[in-house]
Amino acid sequence: MDSPGLTLRYPIEAPPAEGEAVEIAEGILWFRLPLPMKLDHVNIFALDEGDGWTVVDTGFDSRRSRAIWEAVLAGPLGGRPVTRLVVTHHHPDHIGLAGWFQARGAELLTTRTAWLMARMLTLDVEETPSPQAVAFWQSAGMPAEMLATRRAERPFNFADIVTPLPPGYTRIGEGDRLRLGGRHWQVRIGNGHAPEHATLWCEEEALVLGGDQLLPSISPNLGVYPSEPAADPVGDWMESCTRLAPFARDDQLILPGHKLPYRGLPLRLSQMIENHAGALARLQERLAQPRTAVDCFPALFKREIGPAEYGLALVEAMAHLNHLLRNGRAVRTRRADGAWLWQTTA
């Protein structure tokens, strides 16, 4: 084992089996819900409140997820109810079953932006891609054959895997103090992967509930979408990592939304900044000649992008290009077919 501060350390080397839980800290249980994708799980944490539980994040809404939850509630959670639900951010694998828990009497705590985004998206069901989505794909340089296929397909809808959210929630925000599981936690907000993403930092112990803002061995997707095509999530992400760094300690146990709990947060925050700084440098070099966002995949990802990853790769490429544009490191011109051609200014 390397010296503390030079590497990430994982106190538990294997995750709990499906339907089982591990006590990761006193009164805090860790278990997982499956996801039908390459990143095949989301971490769930349950904090013991004595007569019930506070749960952090939920997994997708699916028959399988609900069945696993029923088994967990009856088994590791001892038949006691979930009285409060903390949702770190609005993505479906984290808020998918929030409405299901609210129908059972749980109080939902999340940020205003997370709740508004999730509520809006569950109500916005499309049978065909919107004109704005098609124009966005064209602007990224999506091949004509793929574009034609996507035009004819029913797009992914948030409501497909997220329970309807009833009106009403409890807002949390930067600097708030919460009493959860017999401990005091301070809310600190990150951005980039999701707007107004909540992280919770324990005041009595070296514990942090990090959601997707503080993942160990992978970088969360930083994407630009048709709803806000000029956004700069890469800039938001790097600002958040820099702002959270003064609160990071090497001994803190980070409880992340995916992968394994770990220690070594100061190093991890530096790695996350350097990862995107390196990607931007590679991208700027590739833009010595005019290129579309799709043309930039090799520089950003250094591997073949298949159909399953294509959508996430496209929105991440647009995010990095927008960051270069916003910071005067690239310019763009519109091609006749609607695609942006990007080129470095250096």
CATH value at residue 30 = 3.60.15.10
**pLDDT tens for residues 292-334?**
999 999 999 988 898 889 999 999 999 999 999 999 999 999 9
Q: Evaluate whether residue 54 is within a structural domain.
A: yes
Q: What is the pLDDT of residue 2?
A: 40
Q: Evaluate whether residue 14 is within a structural domain.
A: no
3-state secondary structure string, 156-209? CCHHHCCCCCCCCCEECCCCCEEEECCEEEEEEEECCCCCCEEEEEECCCCEEE
User: pTM of the predicted model, to two decimals?
Assistant: 0.95
Q: What is the pLDDT of residue 291?
A: 98
The whole domain housing 191 covers 22-129+157-285
Q: Evaluate whether residue 190 is within a structural domain.
A: yes
> Residues with Cβ < 8 Å from 261, sequence gap 6 or more?
10, 11, 12, 24, 30, 253, 254, 255
Q: Evaluate whether residue 275 is within a structural domain.
A: yes
Q: Evaluate whether residue 45 is within a structural domain.
A: yes
Q: What is the pLDDT of residue 70?
A: 97
Q: Evaluate whether residue 226 is within a structural domain.
A: yes
Number of domains in the chain: 1
Q: Evaluate whether residue 320 is within a structural domain.
A: no
What are the structure tokens assigned to 20, written together?
Answer: 């089982």
Are residues 140 and 318 in contact, defined by beta-carbon separation less than 8 angstroms?
yes
- Of 189, 208, 303, 313, give the one whose Cα is nearest residue 255: 208
Q: Which helix (H) or strand (E) holds 47?
A: strand 41-48
Q: What is the pLDDT of residue 337?
A: 95
Question: Which portions of the chain are predicted below pLDDT 50?
Answer: 1-5
**pLDDT tens for residues 149-196?**
999 999 999 999 999 999 999 999 999 999 999 999 999 999 999 999
